[in-house]
Amino acid sequence: MSKFQIGKDISNKQTLALPIRQSTYRQIIFPCHLGIISIGNVSTSMLNKLRFHLDQAFDSFFFDIQFIEDTNLHPDMFELGVKEEYNLLNKSSEKVLLQPTNKFYEIIVDKKFEYNFDIGVGLTNLPIYSSSNENLLFLFGEAHIKYMCAIVSTHNLIDLFNPENHKLKKIERRIYKEVIHEIGHLILDCGHCLNDYCVMRFSKNIKEIDSKSIYLCEKCKLKLEKVRERNNF
């Protein structure tokens, strides 16, 4: 997650409520079913490698991992709740429209219900801000533990001002780390790790994402084992 404070020159249109079906409140029992939903223009070439890294990080926690592609925001929804702000992470002189995270949660929850997922994670190329704290702009990702869903934005995982960081493998690895990070929040139900190399460490920029590992540290692995023990698998 990364954050920037909102300036005065921001257009904030109406916000969205998040209607959640009662079935989404059910307690998750592991192993479970995970769905990855592509929302917007997201490359699908990396999905098999993403599956591999998820299996490595959360061995046997998922019965299956299903990918749902080509999901888009409805045109009538696109401008609801948007904020207009300078893209400070990429030092842009142009403003961009940021989408509220609850707009994506609504889509993800619908897909969870439709495909009977226990956990849903959205991948989007659109820049996002937090619906729960509107001062948090240009997030890499956010998890909603109550609804067992998360959204990861690839928008600022590409450094527009450093050609070396345009390498596809480096960008994909950032995405893998952020997806694992948000799923880690959903499974472990805890805050960020203080270990500099743990994938669960908070990252305020892509340099910090690059410097941390794609793996859980030993302390976080122990937390994962406690979840495994509670679920008897």
Question: Model confidence over 165-204: pLDDT tens digits?
Answer: 568 899 999 999 999 999 999 999 989 999 999 999 999 9
What is the number of other CB atoms lying within 10 angstroms of the CB of residue 108? 28
What is the number of other CB atoms lying within 10 angstroms of the CB of residue 158? 16
If pLDDT is split at 50, 70 and 90, which confidence band does 94 have? confident
Is residue 89 pLDDT above 80, yes or no? no
Average pLDDT in the chain: 87
For the chain, percent of residues with pLDDT exceeding 90: 73
Are the C-beta atoms of 82 and 110 separated by less than 8 Å?
A: no
Q: What are phi and psi of 211, to 5 degrees?
A: -80, -15
Residues in the chain: 233
User: What are the residue boundaries of the structural domains of the chain, listed by start?
Assistant: 31-230
Which residues are CB-contacts of 200 (< 8 A; sequence separation ≥ 6)?
181, 184, 185, 188, 192, 193, 216, 217, 220
Give me the catalytic one of 85, 164, 182, 229: 182
Which residues are CB-contacts of 43 (< 8 A; sequence separation ≥ 6)?
none
| Cα 141-114-42 angle, rounded to 5 deg | 40
- Of 1 and 213, the structure prediction assigns the larger pLDDT to 213
Is residue 227 pLDDT above 50, yes or no? yes
Is 182 marked active-site? yes
> For the domain 31-230, what is the CATH code?
3.40.390.10
57-77: pLDDT as tens digits? 999 999 999 999 989 998 888
The predicted pLDDT at position 15 comes to 42
The predicted pLDDT at position 162 comes to 64
